[in-house]
């Protein structure tokens, strides 16, 4: 089983202008401590379940391009780009540039989008129902793949089009496409058709259920289910024992209820084993309040059990 770190917060201390320095240090630490993946969000403002809307926040592709230049081995990703935030032909060009800078370490993450408040603030249309956004997602992926592979791309779809468009240099190898979301009728069907990786979230039982739906969609379209990397995303607060855990929860002001897991090392090891048994190939986790001890405990005490 592989492990990754997802970075949903750019609050590193009290100086907002130190946001990238904190992010860089965290990514380099991850690269040198057994993690194979490092991702950031594609938002312009912080999302409600993580922090305050007006806290410091770096645009995702800007952050990723800078990380591509200062890391060497770790796979980099946006988890995930909203289809509505950029013209997909332009997004294909941006992603190709990050892949070039990173020397082929990009996983291209894309999703249908959901954060309506952000759409409204930046004057992006917010299509309803969600199925409309998923149809846009699928068409965007088709266009992006064409931009990466065809000498010149001419594409005319329902939502997007290009006209003899040039993208050079193209990626030497197509970046893996990750589609995030667990929608059973539409999103997972798009994964079966087009994605190299999926990202779902929930309890181990919920992940197992989502992956069973994905397997059925793969069978329906003639896709080999085993060729799709199955990843799941969760949030942790970890400590070595219960006494230390309770003290940490109080110190970090962990909310109750918490959208994640506050666990001892032993409890987290058992839980991650259940994610593995549910079919997850990679566990991607964030740490509440950028708690580096949580990442360190996973690296030193938990990950060796899954090597």
The conformation of residue 56, written as its DSSP 8-state character, comes to -
Give tens-digit pLDDT for 92-128.
999 999 999 999 999 999 999 999 999 999 999 999 9
Contact 69/97 with Cβ under 8 angstroms? no
pLDDT digits (tens, 9 = 90+) for 250-264: 999 999 889 999 999
Please identify every stretch of the chain with a pLDDT value under 50, giving residue numbers as ranges: none
Q: Domains in the chain: how many in total? A: 1
Burial call 147-174: b when 16+ CB within 10 Å, e when fewer:
bbebeebebeeebbebeebebeebbeee
Q: 65: closest CA among 102, 16, 39? A: 102
Give the Cα separation of 183 and 223 in Å (integer): 18
Domain that holds residue 27: 2-306
Give the pLDDT score at 49.
Answer: 86
pLDDT value, residue 256:
87
User: Smallest Cα–Cα separation from 188: which of 234, 232, 134?
Assistant: 134
Can the peptide bond before residue 80 be classed as cis, meaning omega within 30 degrees of 0?
yes
Q: Give the model's pLDDT for residue 239.
A: 98
Q: Find the CATH number of the domain harbouring 11.
A: 3.20.20.30
């Amino acid at each position: 089983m592989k492990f990754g770190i997802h970075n949903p917060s750019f609050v590193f201390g009290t100086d907002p202008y130190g946001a990238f320095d904190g992010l860089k240090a965290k990514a380099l630490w991850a690269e040198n401590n057994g993690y194979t993946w490092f991702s950031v969000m594609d938002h312009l403002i912080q999302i409600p379940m993580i922090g305050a809307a007006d806290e410091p926040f770096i645009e995702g592709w800007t952050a990723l391009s800078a990380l591509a230049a200062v890391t060497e081995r770790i796979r980099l990703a946006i988890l995930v780009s909203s289809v509505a935030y950029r013209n997909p032909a332009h997004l294909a060009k941006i992603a190709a540039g990050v892949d070039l800078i990173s020397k082929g370490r990009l996983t291209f993450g894309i999703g249908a989008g959901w954060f309506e408040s952000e759409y409204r603030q930046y004057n992006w249309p917010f299509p309803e129902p969600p199925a409309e956004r998923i149809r846009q997602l699928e068409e965007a992926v088709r266009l992006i793949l064409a931009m990466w592979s065809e000498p010149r791309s001419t594409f005319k779809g329902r939502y997007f089009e290009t006209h003899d468009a040039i993208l050079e240099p193209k990626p030497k190898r197509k970046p893996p496409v990750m589609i995030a979301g667990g929608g059973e009728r539409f999103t997972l069907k798009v994964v079966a058709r087009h994605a190299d990786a999926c990202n779902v979230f929930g309890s181990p039982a919920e992940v197992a259920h989502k992956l069973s739906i994905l397997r059925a969609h793969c069978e329906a379209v003639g896709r080999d289910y085993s060729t799709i990397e199955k990843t799941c995303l969760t949030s942790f607060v970890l400590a070595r024992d219960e006494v230390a855990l309770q003290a940490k929860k109080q110190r970090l002001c962990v909310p109750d209820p918490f959208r994640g897991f506050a666990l001892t090392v032993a409890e987290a090891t058992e839980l991650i084993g259940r994610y593995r048994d549910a079919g997850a190939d990679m566990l991607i986790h964030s740490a509440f309040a950028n708690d580096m001890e949580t990442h360190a405990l996973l690296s030193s005490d938990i990950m060796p059990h899954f090597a």
